[in-house]
Structure 1
Amino acid sequence: MPLEVRLNHRSGNLSLPTPRDAGRTTHEIYLSAPDVGPLEESFLVSALRSGWAAPAGPELTAFEREIAERVGVNAAVALSSGTAALHLALLGLGVGPGQVVVVPTLTFVATANAVTYTGARPAFIDSDPATGNIDVSLLPELLEKLQASGQRVGAVLPVDIFGTCADYSALLPICAAAGVPVVEDAAEALGSAHRGRPAGSFGAAAALSFNGNKVITTSGGGMLLSDDRVLVERARFLSTQARLPVSHYEHPEVGYNYRLSNLLAAVGRAQLQRLDEMIRRRRQVRELYANLFATVPGVRLLGNCDDEANCWLTCIVVEPDRAGWHAAELAAHLAGHGIESRPIWKPLHLQAAYENSGGLLTGAAQRLFETGLALPSGSMLSDRQRATVLKTIRAFLAASG
């Protein structure tokens, strides 16, 4: 069955068939829906009419250049996913079998999967309870523990969780002293910064994601960023099946089919033009939640979404003993009114695929998973939808009080 793409000219939004179209339960208000409209349509149509429907092309080259300029790095290569970017970044640093990579336990599974693809294994580190990001205070102990036991630490892979950068001012010196490179997982953080330096510019390399729910989207895609042009060109080579530039098909080593298409890059270029406005709308949503929960006992917003964070997702943390209710109860109430929410990431050390990986754990990430909830945060939320979400939450709080 062909994929139907609809343009709602009243709202100016492109849309794919909803889950209801596929016979599944759907929501009326989503956590972070793709925010695309006439500008993206015009860029996509222009790319199609140019004749560059093949994987590579001028839109792809321009997208890489524009993202690199926005982040402030020397080079970038656009790929099929943020996971692919992490994978190739790690390979570019020589990470492989017999090594371990330090990974936050509170993150999407792709972060650890990319490590596993190289033949290395993750060693998990717990979270700062206030932000959900990597607890940098644990890092010296974990690195010393791993190295003292004879394990080769290939990299540290911090994640800018929910769009807030990790504490790189503290993290980078620790890793430098230990002789361990850093790969920044900035999948959720395009447009964010740490002390004035943009997300995606930290460490030896960084990865962005343009998945459908991210701050900007190419429907699916990612990008590897680095000041090291050699590392980026190596990734570019591997991403095209490691094919040599000769007239016949010559492959000196195993490569990957990881390249982003020219058409999707065109969508990304349009999205990048709208990035600042989309971040502004996400910050407005977080401020509404901050005001709503300011006087609610036992509830706090995770992290501090200041003017350096893109506020990709706003999450609350609930202390049931003080609040008188659980995060899961609010989630059920919202779902009953067609509003999507989601628990904070389930820690990777609790996932069956990684339960024996080890690391340094304090229980902070598990507590955030058990008490946290991500609320609708997208830039696509209309004023009416925002009001509906707030009204629904207020009704729950009144009934629970």
Structure 2
Amino acid sequence: MHTMPNSHVYAVIMAGGSAKALWPAARRKHPAQCLELFRLDTMFSLTVRRIASLVPPERIIVISSREGRECIIAAGTDISPENIIAEPSARNTAPCIALATAHIKKRDPDAVTVVLPSDHDVRDVESFIKILEIGIRIAAEKKGLITIGLTPAYPETEYGYIQSAGHSEEMPPEDGEHGYTLFRVKTFAEKPDYATAVQFLESRDFFWNSGVFIWHIDAICREFERSMPELYKDLLTIHEHLGTDTEDEVIEDVYSWIHPVSIDHGIMEKADPVYMLAGDFGWSDLVSWDEVARISASHENPEDTCELDVMRVESSGVFLRKPQGKLVCMVGVNDLIVVDTGDVLLICNKGDTCKVSAIVDLLRREKREEFL
């Protein structure tokens, strides 16, 4: 199989997502990827560290929100501030990726790009990097779109899913001692209800959607032109003005009219060919405090201060995040999520943290901007 020269590999880290899911710890100016949830480092810094073995800092492009850009810069990675690009406003993942594509195409018209979120947890980094290396080779050879799926461990209702169309081909032995299988993708499914998630799990042809993509720059531009022609025109307009005095004005203008669309709905569901590599690398999308609580035990750290100054009497199953130095006493309480940020105290039952966004919406309606 053709090997893609490393000098043509770029990474796009999407770091402009909503702060709703992990509120009140995540805020507009301090988004989820800037939280130190595990291993005493921010999720963004861990993401950069993972991809650094494949892509040097000068070829990592970060797309952030305007409010969150300073937080990203302050993370202290080796990525130049010039590579941390702020969207004028959030427009979901398709415009985010189009903006990054315009920048990369300007630098390298033969680039292969790895696109990944900034706030996911990956425990087996070696396996994760291995599957990305395979995806890069496939993208360079086939000029198709590649996505990474994961065999579901349980019926999760907060993840998107990918349905495979059956085995496409076996990967060569060089791709791992156990080998990897490349699937053709049949369809993408939005977050299901519980009964549907159970059906997905039992069918064995549905995989969790990791939100990680790999493609040649020509392939993604072709699909933008075919499936989202208006956004493709905007991409070309931005591309033309990059590095000029009108760059900021043009991007601002373009973002004033483009509509929010996810890359799954706008491109991946319509593209052809789309391939999926199924991986198993201890992945979690931190979509809620329930998910953070579920995986926190596997990231126990003796220096973690959240469990210091905590007293429990006949209490169990309580996930607690609190300021250092605050004493918390629990009596007769079970299965709660408690997040104390000093100015906000969130308390909810485990299993209900997907509803935290309703509190954020309520605060917006009441214009309580100081808590957002």
Q: TM-score by structure 2 length? A: 0.29
Q: TM-score by structure 1 length? A: 0.28
